[in-house]
Amino acid sequence: MKPINVGLLGIGTVGGGTFTVLQRNCEEITRRAGRPIRIVVVADKNLELAKQVTGGACRLTDDAFSVVTDPEVDIVIELIGGYGVARQLVMQAIENGKHVVTANKALLATHGNEIFKAAQDKGVMVGFEAAVAGGIPIIKAVREGLTANRIEWIAGIINGTTNFILSEMRDKGLSFDTVLKEAQRLGYAEADPTFDIEGVDAAHKITILASLAFGIPMQFDKAYIEGISKLDAVDIKYAEQLGYRIKLLGITRRTDEGVELRVHPTLIPARRLIANVEGAMNAVLVQADAVGATLYYGKGAGAEPTASAVIADLVDITRMHTADPENRVPHLAFQPDAMVELPMLAMDDVTTSYYLRLRVADKTGVLADITRILADEQISIDAVIQKEPADGETEADLIMLTHQTREKCIKAAIVKIEALGVVTGNVTKLRMEELGK
Ligand code: HSE
């Protein structure tokens, strides 16, 4: 059986894992794919590292552009990351008739429409299972396993770094800054962790899932993004006392008015399975009309979990590359000519419920003033707790949970509440999701 030949761009953590797993499981993978999958060339700036990892088993180069034009290469694996050189390499690989496998969620969320169009025109496949939730086969599940369904919404813990930080903050009662340093020491968080902690990485991933779920173009620029860097440990504690956990969720939902696409810290009932996903693990909950809710759990990062997804794409391409392009599984689950433009909802128009924390003077009439403002905005209160002032203090924390309302209504109410003389500082607002049907 003639092997299918692969060119690997980038032999860092995931590239190394891909090399190792392909070698270790070569016999089983060949039995599944129908022919051997062979890495024939690796491109990396660090040739010494490439030599160590590959042990001389294939050609090495420090020129990634030579790989995307290499006549021996059938599939290019792009593991360089970012949207500069990686974009040029992917586009050139496609132009040269190579199939592409990538773990690059930033690239797909921002340039996916252009990349998939080029791939379709050229009749090549682009696999991206590794781009969302690492080793969890969530792309395959949404694109193929749930194909009978009308997908209603997806909510996912799709960033392991922030889930680790939130778990540690809750477990140990530590501040965000302290846990972030610990996460960096343990190697979970990057030296520059901005994309993770500010929710950008999760927004890239939920953008991709929204596209697959609803058959809409990638629209990362429409995503509302709020990370966890401003989250106070006291809110995690109060949420817990109220029976909730705070998770950084990527959420996309189809409503009659348009599609929600958002990432933010979210209170979810502690009894939900997804609320109990701890540490660096990922989980994605999909609500669909026929099957109901399905939950996918596993490692969202790391060498071999991500390699597992990369190799799954290699096998798919190996099986399918001789099929007519129009008979293959569409990249984004829907046939390219059946993609639709749906309105994307601005965050102000999203409806959800809220957790509010206020610092108030412990005086007669304070609660009445606040509830009147909420009532004027048609916001219904679900629960209220007032903490006793600490010894010697005259102010108390007031925590309120609201029923569902529009974001713009809660924002308007908060402006009025903050203007009350009896309220000190800003109101803390967190969104809540039941994640039931
Ligand atoms: N940085 C990501 C995370 C992993 O922390 O989950 C790669 O997507």
Q: Which atom of ligand 1 is nearest to the CA of 105?
A: 8
Q: Contact 313/128 with Cβ under 8 angstroms?
A: yes
Of the residues 98, 140, 205, 247, only one is catalytic, namely 205
Burial classification of residue 122, based on how many CB atoms lie within 10 Å of its CB (0-12 exposed, 13-18 middle, 19 or more buried) = middle
**Residue 293, beta-bridge partner list:** 287
Could you report the per-residue pLDDT of 177-201, keeping only the tens digit for each?
Answer: 999 998 888 877 777 799 999 999 9
Ligand 1 centroid – CA 131 distance (Å):
9
Q: Which atom of ligand 1 is nearest to 190's Cα? A: 1
Count of other CB atoms within 10 angstroms of residue 78? 28
Q: Token pair of 135, please?
A: 């080793």
pLDDT category at 426 given cuts 50, 70, 90 is very high
Banded pLDDT at 290 (limits 50, 70, 90): very high
CB-based contacts of 133, cutoff 8 Å, min separation 6: 156, 158, 205, 282, 284, 296, 298, 300
Looking only at Cα atoms, what is the longest distance across the chain? 83
433 within 8 A of 266, measured Cβ to Cβ: yes
Q: How far apart are CA 224 and CA 169, in angstroms?
A: 24
Residue with the smallest CA separation from ligand 1 atom 4 is: 301
- Which ligand 1 atom lies nearest to the CA of residue 195? 1
Nearest CA to ligand 1 atom 7: 301
- Going from the Cα of 351 to the center of ligand 1, the distance in angstroms, rounded, reads 28
Shortest-distance Cα residue to atom 2 of ligand 1: 159
- pLDDT at res. 330: 96
* Cα(34) to centroid(ligand 1), Å: 32
pLDDT digits (tens, 9 = 90+) for 191-248: 779 999 999 999 999 999 999 999 999 999 999 999 999 999 999 999 999 999 999 9
Decide if pLDDT at 389 tops 90: no
Contact residues for 354 (Cβ-Cβ < 8 A; gap 6+)? 401, 402, 405, 410, 429, 430, 431, 432
Distance between Cα 245 and ligand 1 center (Å): 21
Pocket lined around ligand 1, Cβ cut-off 6 Å: 159-161, 196, 201, 300-301
Give bridge partners of residue 151 from the DSSP assignment: 288
Q: Are 402 and 379 in contact (CB under 8 A)?
A: yes
Is the pLDDT reported for residue 117 higher than 80? yes
Name residue 201's amino acid.
Answer: D
Judge if pTM exceeds 0.75.
Answer: yes
Domains of the chain: 4-135+303-338 (3.40.50.720), 138-299 (3.30.360.10), 351-432 (3.30.70.260)
| Candidate of 128, 159, 165 to mutate for ligand 1, largest count of ligand atoms within 8 Å of Cβ | 159
Query: For 32-61, what is the mean pLDDT?
Result: 97
Q: Which atom of ligand 1 is nearest to the CA of 158?
A: 6
Closest atom of ligand 1 to CA, residue 160: 6
Matching residue, tokens 């000190």: 424
| Atom number of ligand 1 nearest to Cα 306 | 7
If you measure from the C-alpha of residue 162 to the centroid of ligand 1, how many angstroms do you get, rounded to a whole number?
9
pLDDT of residue 185: 87
- Give the integer Cα–Cα distance in Å for 436 and 98: 43
**222 within 8 A of 258, measured Cβ to Cβ:** no
Band of pLDDT at residue 387, cut at 50, 70 and 90: confident
pLDDT value of residue 311: 98
205 belongs to the catalytic site: yes
Which string of b and e fits 274-304 if b means at least 16 CB within 10 Å?
A: bbebbebbbbbbbbbeeeebeebbbbbbbbb
The CA–CA distances, whole Å, from 258 to 274, 290, 350, 355, 367 equal 25, 21, 9, 24, 36
Q: Which residue has a Cα nearest atom 8 of ligand 1? A: 301
Rounded to the nearest whole angstrom, what is the distance from the C-alpha of residue 355 to the centroid of ligand 1?
27
pLDDT-derived band at 374, boundaries 50, 70, 90 = very high
Is 55 in contact with 16 (CB distance < 8 Å)? no
CA atoms within 13 A on the CB side of 279: 7
User: CA-CA distance, 221 to 154, in Å (whole number)?
Assistant: 19
Give 399 Cα–ligand 1 centroid separation in angstroms.
32
* Mutation probe of ligand 1 site: the residue of 128, 163, 164, 201 with most atoms within 8 A of C-beta: 201
Helices (H) and strands (E) in the chain, counts: 15, 17
Ligand 1 pocket, mutate which of 158, 196, 205 (most atoms under 8 A from CB): 196
